[in-house]
Chains A and B, each alone.
Chain A
Amino acid sequence: MPQLSEVKGSVNIPAEFDNVSIFSNMQLSDYILKRIEFIREGQEVVPEYTDIKEKFAGMLFGFYINHSVRQQNELNKRYADVCEEFKRISEERSELNKKIIEVANRLRELEEAKGGKA
């Protein structure tokens, strides 16, 4: 194995991985986009009977099964709506952040042009 001269040193890393959120500050993460896709795809729950016993029970208690399926579908729909809202707000926030950075840069330029603080 080639020998490298012993290297010592450290660099201050301004963020810690463990503290990073899966939801980004500046842009919508892939994670939430995939979740929305997943929820929308699986939104409509349909009762499935795997064997004859379940089918028989389904015939007897079909009303209750369908009732809970409808409830689940309603919950899924609301969850997907919340995710969509989250997506919209994140995009808006991202746009606003960009504008803030632009304004801050413009302000700095103006201060520099003026030769002192505004």
Chain B
Amino acid sequence: MRVIQVLTTLSFGDAVSNDCLAINELLKKRGFKTAIYIENLDERLKNHPDVKSCGKMPKPKKDDILLYHLSTGTALNLRIMAVNCRKFIVYHNTTPPDFFVKYSGKTAQLCNNGLNETKALKDTFEGGFCDSGFNRDQLISYGYKCPLKVRPILIPFEDYMKEPDKEVLDAMGGPNTNDHAVKNVLFVGRIAPNKKQEDLISMLYAYRQMYKDPVRLILVGNPLGMDKYDAKLKNYAQQLGLDDIVFTGQISFKAILAYYRSADCFVSMSEHEGFCVPLVEAMQFDVPILAYASTAVPETMGDAGVVFDDKDPAVAAAHLHAILNNKELRQEMIKEQQERLKFFSYENVSEMFIQQFEEMTGVKAPR
């Protein structure tokens, strides 16, 4: 019996890929025979011993367990129906297409296909693993009747211990333990309309109008395929006369670490998240979090950080000002976030996953 994971794309740094690789390592450690099959194979992963192209996937045996990671529209979604073995969905959610219609017809089409295909697959799986209760509820609303378990994404935290990019760290005024002359307000997430980076820009404008202390907005994220939205964001910032916004584009992991280490506050205005790994990353780096309560965000935050539900830029700016300037509040937030972070620890989530996996499949881990 083997545990096979199948997904459309495996690349460096994205949450779904990291989750898949972490599950693979975990299952191997517990004595399972594993393999990962990918539709689009990243050149850099060609030499990974467990990663192969879908075309090379041998016909699975009936007792093989297939974990299918679903996060977008792809021909693979429907091909998986025909595979004859024990199938389980690992659901990461698909962004609603409406967000993309104005900026990329291709992406909107992919998301639309993703939603329709997720619905079409409702009777395909024996069970499922969802990143959040929000994702589970969505599958239930699509007519899924199989048992669905909720467990957070498995995050390999040791990667965050690596050395950050020193140049970037220095440019941002050093680590956030320093008293920065210009405070760093960070958001990490691909440049995409559902992430609502424009609301962060509006918040910065409101902040400038309301307060005197200098702040810098750092938008870390790859604009790949979202050129129109990216250009619009830059032009919006320019029209508002905001010159202190850093659009990093695609950067190295070391540079991302440097931005996290130098951040004084992490702010999310995102309107669609199936889990939102950057929130957990910000917790890991002791960055106080201010987040708009949408989709899975309140669930990931638990009782930590400041979660608000009023999108008025002035309200967000006032919250931000309080977090940046009230040391006691910051300390309290960081303490609560550290507590919340324990829930996402590798040990806790891996134990949770193995337990759910055994319950769901009826197969005991050999080790």
Please give the residue numbers on chain A whose beta carbons come within 8 Å of chain B beta carbons, in ascending order: 1-2, 4-5, 7-11, 13-15, 17, 20-27, 29-32, 34-35
Contacts and interface: CB of A to CB of B under 8 A. Distances in A.
Contacts of B304: 1
Nearest to A2: B332
Nearest to A35: B227
Contact of B231 (A9, A14, A15, A31): A31
B314 interface: yes
Interface in B326-343: 329, 332-333, 336
Interface string B213-254: 000000000000001101110111011100000000000000
A11 B201 CA distance: 13
A5 to B, nearest CB: 8
B80 interface: no
B92 to A, nearest CB: 26
Given A9-B318, A13-B313, A17-B198, A1 B336 contact: yes
A29 B234 contact: yes
Nearest to A15: B239
A13 B202 CA distance: 7
B314 A22 contact: no
Given A2-B306, A24-B238, A31 B315 contact: no
Nearest to B315: A7
Contact of A31 (B198, B209, B227): B227
The 3 closest A-B pairs by CB, nearest first: A31-B231, A7-B318, A11-B206
Which size bracket describes the interface of B in this complex? 35 or more
Given A22-B232, A30-B227, A31-B228, A13 B240 contact: yes
A35 B231 CA distance: 12
Contacts of A9: 210, 312, 314-315, 318
Contacts of B205: 11, 13
A2 B315 contact: no
- Interface of chain A: mostly helix, strand, loop or mixed: loop
Most B CB atoms within 10 A — which of A8, A11, A26? A11
Contacts of A32: 231
A25 to B, nearest CB: 8
A32 B240 CA distance: 21
B319 interface: yes
B326 to A, nearest CB: 9
Contacts of A22: 228, 231-232, 235
Nearest to B304: A1
Contacts of B329: 2, 4
Nearest to A34: B227
A29 B332 CA distance: 42
A29 B306 CA distance: 35
A17 B236 CA distance: 6
B327 to A, nearest CB: 12
A113 to B, nearest CB: 27
A32 B232 CA distance: 12
Nearest to B322: A4
A31 to B, nearest CB: 3
Contacts of B110: none
B276 to A, nearest CB: 16
Contact of B240 (A1, A14, A23, A24): A14
A30 B230 contact: yes
Contacts of A10: 312, 314
Contacts of A20: 232, 235-236, 239
Contacts of A26: 238
B123 interface: no
A87 to B, nearest CB: 14
B303 A1 contact: yes
B180 to A, nearest CB: 21
A73 to B, nearest CB: 23
